[in-house]
Structure 1
Amino acid sequence: MILIYTHKVTPRVRYIFKHIFTRILQVQIDFTRKVEEFVAYNGPKFSYTNVPLGKEFFIQSNELLFQQGIKDVTVVVQKWEEVPCFFAAVEASEIPFDIFAASFFLISRYEEYLPQIKDVHGRFSATESIAYQHGFLEKPLVDIWAYKFLTALKHKFPDFEHVTRKYQYISTIDVDNAFAYKHKSFVRTIGGFLKDASQFKIFTIWDRFAVLFNLKKDPFNTFQKAIKLKKKYKITTIFFFLIGDYTTFDTNVSASKRKFKLLIKDMVDYALVGLHPSYYTMSNSGMLKKEKERLESITNTPIKRSRQHYLRVSLPETYQQLIDLEIDEDYSMGYATHVGFRASTCTPFYFYDLDFEIQTPLKIYPFALMDTTLNDYMKLTPKQSLGKIRDLKNEVKAVNGVFITVFHNESLSNYLRWRGWNRVYNSMLKIVGND
C-alpha cells in the first residue's frame, strides 16, 4: 500500500488517484492529512500538496483538483523526457508536472465543457482537443504517465512490490443496417430500385433483385462470420443494435420485423448485446428510454451497455440520461474522424460528473479505432489500415491496457465501399488477440 499526504481530500482527488493507482497500476492507496501519521509510516509514501513537508517524495499539486465547477484552464504542453505533459511543477517536485491534475483534465473531458466549435453533428471535434493539437491523440498518455510515475516510485522505494495487469482486447460491432436489401418495407424497397435505376447502378439492381428473391444471401448478413471468428480467437464480442424509428440518419430494418428480432435473439446466445441509441437520443431522454425498453422486450434481459449512433455525446447530458436509465457501460468515447484515445487512456474509467462533482456508476470504455474512420475519413487501404491497427495495439499493449475496436457488420461484407475489406477483420483479430 502507498500512503499519500495531501492538505485536502476532495472528490476529484479520490477519483483520479483511484483511477491511476487502483485501475491502471493495481496498487492500493490510502490518504492522510496528518503530518505525524505520514512521517511515522515506514512503507512507500509521497506528499501531494503545495510545498514539500521535508525531503520526502513530493509531487507539487495544481489547483484543479481542489476546485469546483468549470473554470478557464491554461494548458502549456512541455516534455517529461520524451513524453508530452502539462501543469508544470516546481523543481522540488519529483516529476516536472502534476500528473494527477493533468490526468483528471483529460479523463473528465474537462475541455469538452469549455466553449468550442462543434461539428455538423453537434459533436466535440477531434481537432479541438489538446491531444490532437499537440500530437498525442494516438497515445494513451495517462497510462504512459502512470507507468513512468511507477518507475520513479520504485526507484525511491526499491522494495515496493505490485501486480501488473494483463492486456485485454474487446471487439465491438455496430449494427446500423442489419441487412442491405432484405426485410425493408415495400416503400423503401421500391425507392431503392428507383434510386439505383436513376444512377444506372446495374449491378446493384441485380444484387437487390437476387437477394429479395433468395438467389443470393444478403451481403450485410455477416453475423455468423463474426460469431465464428469470436469462437476461433476466443475474444469478447459485443453487438450494438440500432433499433430506433426510421430517420435520415437511422436506416436500420424496423424493430417490428420478425427476422430482425430473431437475429437479435440469436446474437444474445453467442455474444454480448448492447443498445445503439439512435441519432436524436443525444438530447432526448424519452426516445432513449423507448429504445432501451424496445430492445429489452426483444432480448428479455436488462440492457446494460450502450454506444451512441454517430458517437453523438453531449457532456454531461447524454451520460446523465444513460445513468438515469441504469445503463452501466458506455462505449462511445472516441472520434469518428480520427483514430486514437479521446480521453487519453486505454483503461475503462467511471464518468466523473463535473456538474455535481461526483464519480458516477457509469463506466466508460474508450475505443481506439473504427473501421469507417480508417476507410472513409483517413482513406487508408486495407493493408495500411492493418498497419495503423498494429501501431495502436502496440501502444495499448505497452501499458497492459484494454484495446477496443469498432467494426460494423457491413465492413465484413466485402460489398460496395467495403470491397477489399473481407479479410481485414480476420487479420486484425490475429494481430490484436489476448496473447
Structure 2
Amino acid sequence: MLLIYTQKITPRIIYIFKHLCTGILGISIKFTSKIEEFIAHDGMKLSYGKQALGNELFVQRVDLLMEQGFSEVEIKVLPWEDSVCFFPVSEASALPFDIFASSFFLLSRYEEYVPHVKDEAERFPVAESLAYQKGFLSSPVVDKWALKFQDVLAERFPNMEVESRKFSSNIIIAVEHVFGYKNKGILRTIAGMQRDFFRLSLTKVFDRLKVAFKVKNDPFNIFEDLIALIKKHKLKMYFMFQLSDFTIHDRNINHNRIPYRSVIKYVGDYAKVGLLLGYYAVRDMKTLRTEKLRMENIIHSSLEYSLNSSHDLSLPENFNNLVELEVKNDFSMGYPDALGFRAGTCTPFLFYDINMEVTTPLLVHPYVFNSAIFEDVKPEKAFEDVQKALNQVREVGGEFRAIFRNQDFSEYAQAEIYYKLVEMIYEIK
C-alpha cells in the first residue's frame, strides 16, 4: 500500500491518484492529512504538496487539483525523455512536472469545458486540443507517465510488487443503418432509386430492385460475415445499434420492424450489443431514455454500452444523462476525424464531472481511430498509421479500440482493406 500525504484531500486528488496508482499500476493507496501518521508509516509513502516534509518521496504540486470549477489555464509543453510534459515544478520533486495535475487535465477533458471554437457540427474540434497543437495526440502520454512514475516508485521502494499490464484490442461496429435498401418502404425506395439514377449509379438502382425482389442480400447486412470472424478467432467485439425515430438527422428504419430486431438479437448471441445514440438522444434526456428502453426491450437485459453517433460529447451533460440512466460504459471518447488519444490515454477511466466535482460511475473507453478518417487516405498510409498506433498502445500494455461501420464491410466500400485492418488490430495470422 502507498500512503499519500497531502495537506488537503480534494475530490480531484482522490480521483486521479486512484486512477494512476490503482487503475493503471495496480497499487492500493491510502490518503492522510496527518503529518504524524505519515511520518510513523514504515511502508511506501509519498507526499504531494508545495514542499517536502523531509527526505520522503516527494512530488511537487501545482494548484489545479486544489481548485474547483474551471478557468483558462496557461500551459507550456516541454520535452521530457521520450515523451512530453507540462505543469513543470522544481528540481526538489521526484518528477520534473506535476504528473497528477497533467493527467487530470487530460482525463477530465478540462479544455472542453473552457470556451473554445466549435466546428460546423457544434463539436469540440481536434484542432482546439492541446495534444494536437503541441504534437502529442498520437501518444498515450498518461499511460507513459504512469509507467515512468512506477519506475520512480520501484527505485525508491525496491520491494514493491509490480503488476505487468497486458495489451488487448477490440473493435466497435457502429450500426446506423442495418440495411441499405431492405425494409425502407415503397416511397423511400423509389426516392432512392431516382437519386441513384440521376447520379448515374445504375448498379445501385439494379441492386435496390434485386434486394426488393429477394434476389440479392442487402449490402449493409454483413453481420453473418463478422460473426463468423468472431467465432473463428474468438474475438471480442461490440455492436452499437441505432434505434432513433426517423428525422432529418437519423434515417434508420423503424426499430419495431422484425428483421431489424432479429439482427440485433442474432448479433447479441455472439458479441456485446449496445446503443448508438441518435442525434437528439445526445441532447435530450427524454429521447435518450426512450432509445435506451427500446434497446432493453429487444435484448431483454439492462443497457450497458453506448456510443455517440455524432461524436459530440457535450460535456458534461451527455455523460451525466448516461449516469442517471445507469449506463455503465461509453465508447465515444475519441476524434472522428483524427487518429490519436483524445484524453491522452488508452486505459478506461471513470468520468469526472468538473461542474459537480464528483467522480461518476460511468466508465469511459477511449478509442484510437474511427474508420471514417480513412475514406480519403491511401491504404498504405492507413496501415502505417494504424500500425504506429498499435505499437504505441502495445508499448504501454494498454487497450486498443477502433470504430468501424457495418457499411465499411459492404461491396460499396473498400471491404478488403477494412478486413485487413481488423486482422491487423486483432493480430490475426
Q: TM-score range by the shorter chain?
A: over 0.9
Alignment deviations for residues 186-230 of structure 1 (CA, whole Å, 9 cap, x no partner): 111010011111122211211221222122221111101111111
Q: In the alignment, is residue 135 of structure 1 matched against residue 132 of structure 2? A: no
What amino acid is the match of 2:246? Y
Q: Compared with structure 1, are the counterparts of its residues 43 and 158 closer, same or farther at alpha carbon in structure 2 (3 Å cutoff)? A: same
Matches of 1:216 and 1:434, distance apart in 2 = 30
Query: Counterpart in 1 of 2:353?
Result: 353
Q: Secondary structure at the match of 1:282?
A: coil
On the 8 A contact 1:233/1:429 being kept in 2, the answer is: no
Q: In the alignment, is residue 422 of structure 1 matched against residue 419 of structure 2? A: no
Q: Identify the range of structure 1 (274-283 vs 8-17) with the bigger mean alpha-carbon deviation.
A: 274-283
On the 8 A contact 1:386/1:424 being kept in 2, the answer is: no
- CA drift of 1:343 comes to 0.5
On the 8 A contact 1:48/1:61 being kept in 2, the answer is: yes
Q: In the alignment, is residue 319 of structure 1 matched against residue 311 of structure 2? A: no
Matches of 1:399 and 1:414, distance apart in 2 = 37
Matches of 1:434 and 1:85, distance apart in 2 = 35
- CA drift of 1:423 comes to 4.4
Q: In the alignment, is residue 282 of structure 1 matched against residue 276 of structure 2? A: no
Query: Counterpart in 1 of 2:11?
Result: 11
Where does 1:5-404 land on structure 2 (aligned, <5 Å)?
Answer: 5-375=5-375, 379-404=376-401
Alignment deviations for residues 404-429 of structure 1 (CA, whole Å, 9 cap, x no partner): 111111101131xx13x324334533
Q: Compared with structure 1, are the counterparts of its residues 434 and 96 closer, same or farther at alpha carbon in structure 2 (3 Å cutoff)? A: farther
Matches of 2:425 and 2:242, distance apart in 1 = 28
Matches of 2:220 and 2:380, distance apart in 1 = 22
On the 8 A contact 1:333/1:367 being kept in 2, the answer is: yes
- CA drift of 1:54 comes to 1.6
Matches of 1:196 and 1:413, distance apart in 2 = 17
Matches of 2:339 and 2:18, distance apart in 1 = 27
Q: Secondary structure at the match of 2:145?
A: helix
Alignment deviations for residues 95-130 of structure 1 (CA, whole Å, 9 cap, x no partner): 110000010010000000000111121111111000
Where does 1:401-416 land on structure 2 (aligned, <5 Å)?
Answer: 401-415=398-412
Matches of 1:407 and 1:76, distance apart in 2 = 35
Q: Secondary structure at the match of 1:47?
A: strand
On the 8 A contact 1:328/1:362 being kept in 2, the answer is: yes
Matches of 1:431 and 1:342, distance apart in 2 = 19
Matches of 1:178 and 1:339, distance apart in 2 = 26
What amino acid is the match of 1:6? T
What amino acid is the match of 1:353? D
Q: Identify the range of structure 1 (108-117 vs 244-253) with the bigger mean alpha-carbon deviation.
A: 244-253
What amino acid is the match of 1:44? M
On the 8 A contact 1:169/1:235 being kept in 2, the answer is: no
Matches of 1:359 and 1:140, distance apart in 2 = 22
What amino acid is the match of 1:382? P
Matches of 1:61 and 1:129, distance apart in 2 = 23
Q: Compared with structure 1, are the counterparts of its residues 400 and 32 closer, same or farther at alpha carbon in structure 2 (3 Å cutoff)? A: same
Matches of 1:185 and 1:422, distance apart in 2 = 31
- CA drift of 1:384 comes to 2.5
TM-score by length of 2: 0.97
Matches of 2:109 and 2:72, distance apart in 1 = 14
On the 8 A contact 2:340/2:389 being kept in 1, the answer is: yes
Alignment deviations for residues 138-185 of structure 1 (CA, whole Å, 9 cap, x no partner): 111100100011112212222222211222212110101111111112
Matches of 2:202 and 2:231, distance apart in 1 = 38
Return structure 1 stretches of 4+ with deviation > 6 angstroms.
none
Q: Identify the range of structure 1 (199-208 vs 348-357) with the bigger mean alpha-carbon deviation.
A: 199-208
- CA drift of 1:16 comes to 0.3
The unaligned stretches of length 5 or more in structure 1 are none
What amino acid is the match of 2:294? R
Matches of 2:75 and 2:55, distance apart in 1 = 29
Query: Counterpart in 1 of 2:426?
Result: 432
Q: Secondary structure at the match of 1:46?
A: strand
- CA drift of 1:255 comes to 0.8
Q: Identify the range of structure 1 (400-409 vs 379-388) with the bigger mean alpha-carbon deviation.
A: 379-388
Matches of 1:190 and 1:159, distance apart in 2 = 72
CA-atom RMSD in angstroms: 1.5
Matches of 1:169 and 1:272, distance apart in 2 = 14
- CA drift of 1:383 comes to 3.3
What amino acid is the match of 1:128? E
Q: Compared with structure 1, are the counterparts of its residues 165 and 383 closer, same or farther at alpha carbon in structure 2 (3 Å cutoff)? A: same
Matches of 2:133 and 2:158, distance apart in 1 = 38
How many corresponding residue pairs?
429
- CA drift of 1:15 comes to 0.3
What amino acid is the match of 2:423? L
Q: Identify the range of structure 1 (424-433 vs 270-279) with the bigger mean alpha-carbon deviation.
A: 424-433
Matches of 2:134 and 2:390, distance apart in 1 = 21
